[in-house]
Amino acid sequence: MSAALGSTTISVGGDYDVVIGSGVLGRVADLLGADVERVLVVHPPTLDALSGAVADALRDRGYAVHPAEVPDAEAAKTASVAAALWAQLGQAGFTRTDAVVGVGGGTVTDLAGFVAASWLRGVPVVQVPTTLLGMVDAAVGGKTGINTAEGKNLVGAFHPPAGVLCDVDVLATLPQADLVAGLAEVVKCGFIADPVILDLVESAVADDAGRARSAANPHLRELIERAVRVKADVVAADLRESSLREILNYGHTFGHAIEQVEHYSWRHGEAVGVGMVYVAELARLTGHLSGPEGDALVDRHRSVLESLGLPTTYAAGRWDELLTAMRRDKKSRGSTLRFVVLDGLARPTRLAGPDDALLQAAYGLVSRRDASGAH
């Protein structure tokens, strides 16, 4: 890791860099490399001005820029949108030495990465995440994908980016609900690897809860850097999610099930927040967390997440739907459900094939009695 001129650079296994700082958008060309001639800039309609600034920075360096507007949010992550981008690449004559740049939230960076991975069996991609979730999760690690009717990210590829550029200034205009949802992934890194993250969140909430939930959080850049460092360390050790990398899925199996059952009307971080409480309760039920320390850690899940305004419960009466969705999750192995649980703070482990009665009991501990699923 290095820091210079107001930015921090975190290396991911020596393969690529994540640059974090203020006013760093103009450095996108530095991450592309010398051989690129054409660049497809993928962005949602809400980020015309920001993507235009990125495109201008690329044109100033002599690149031929091809803007590509895609739908907002999960509507971007479909086979039809990917096919339209492939057509644009083909019509523009993109070769293996050309590149894709994704400017947007996690859905855009997932899509841009998948299109880059699949075009000519792989062209470079630089990710410019514009949401907190994108900065600490989706844009880092090289996991790309699109959704199908059967589930989220079921079609995808591992395709490490050429670089990631996180300009924290763009978070000032991010809606608070989206920033808070992104904080769920930051908190996840605190529970699985870096407890200082939890201390910083709790300190910020104690000082000013409203400020802690906004881009004015005085610890926000440090939280981003710590979360990226957690992910970078794990990804460098396990590029293709064969072992260690699974710990980054803490809270995601149940969280993805909520997203699917709710037809993606929940924000990812909101669903993962409930998912983390679910697996904390599951860890207690299966004996991974026990005694006063275990009880306190389960309670800390609720207190930290609720202090940020994140949901920690889900509607009762929907267990069958959730279980069906979890069994389709890509982290399952055959008919065996797999979860990441904690043996203690920053001590993640795997739990494979827990008894269905325990799974349902954990659901009972996070469910409430309204039927709407609203949050």
* pLDDT at residue 6, as a whole number: 80
Say if residue 330 carries a ligand binding annotation. no
* pLDDT at residue 331, as a whole number: 57
Amino acid at site 211:
R
CATH superfamily of 176-368: Dehydroquinate synthase-like - alpha domain (1.20.1090.10)
* pLDDT at residue 4, as a whole number: 44
**Count of CA atoms in the C-beta half-sphere (13 A) of 42:** 35
Distance CA 248, CA 253 (A): 11
Say if residue 43 carries a ligand binding annotation. no
The single-letter DSSP state of residue 244 is G
Say if residue 209 carries a ligand binding annotation. no
Distance CA 255, CA 362 (A): 14
Say if residue 75 carries a ligand binding annotation. yes
Say if residue 74 carries a ligand binding annotation. yes
The single-letter DSSP state of residue 45 is G
* pLDDT at residue 126, as a whole number: 96
Closest by CA position to 88, among listed 68, 118, 113: 68
Per-residue pLDDT tens listing for the chain (375 residues): 444 458 899 998 888 999 999 999 889 999 997 789 999 999 999 999 999 999 999 999 999 999 999 998 888 999 999 999 999 999 999 999 999 999 998 889 999 999 999 999 999 999 999 999 989 987 787 889 998 888 778 899 989 999 999 999 999 999 999 999 999 999 999 999 999 999 999 999 999 999 999 999 999 999 999 999 999 988 887 655 555 778 999 999 999 999 999 988 999 999 999 999 999 999 999 999 999 999 999 999 999 999 999 999 999 999 999 999 998 865 555 568 999 999 999 999 999 999 999 999 999 999 975 544 556
**212 exposure class (CB count in 10 Å sphere: 0-12, 13-18, 19+):** buried
Distance CA 310, CA 144 (A): 26
Secondary structure (DSSP) of 141-202 = SSEEEEEETTEEEEEEEE---SEEEEEGGGGGGS-HHHHHHHHHHHHHHHHHT-THHHHHHH
Say if residue 293 carries a ligand binding annotation. no
Centre a 10 Å sphere on the Cβ of residue 262 and count the other Cβ atoms it contains: 18
Say if residue 150 carries a ligand binding annotation. no
Say if residue 77 carries a ligand binding annotation. yes
* pLDDT at residue 1, as a whole number: 47
Say if residue 76 carries a ligand binding annotation. yes
* Domain locations along the chain: 2-173, 176-368
Q: Which CATH class is domain 2-173?
A: alpha beta
Catalytic site positions: 121, 143, 185, 231, 241, 245, 249, 252, 256, 268
